[in-house]
Amino acid sequence: MNTAQCKGCGAAIKFIRMKSGKMMPVNPEPYMADQSRTGKEIFVRPDGELIKGKSICKLDPGTKHAGYDHYIPHWASCPAAKQFKKQEKDRFEQATIF
């Protein structure tokens, strides 16, 4: 996984390629998530699949977890997340003017 630093808050982030081909910034700590409950948290799997679930525990980032690793999208914890959503909205509005 690619690693970087968030331009909004300076936190360490990783990127996961989504099924759509776009890159999703995620927090670098993997979690074990329970998908069987009606959890409200959003997780990204290493294969790019988005799932809803409930966090069970943090996993050690230095070990393999046999498919149990799920990552939290960085926008869920970034204090500057709104600044990036506004830019997306502005780009859309500018594109629809023409």
**Higher-pLDDT residue of 46, 53:** 46
Q: E strand or H helix at 88, and its extent?
A: helix 81-97
Q: Look up residue 44 and give its DSSP letter.
A: E
**Average per-residue pLDDT for the chain:** 79
CB 48 within 8 A of CB 61: no
Sign of CA pseudo-dihedral 19, 37, 76, 85? positive
pLDDT at residue 96 is higher than 80: no
> pLDDT tens across 21-39, in order?
999 999 998 888 877 666 7
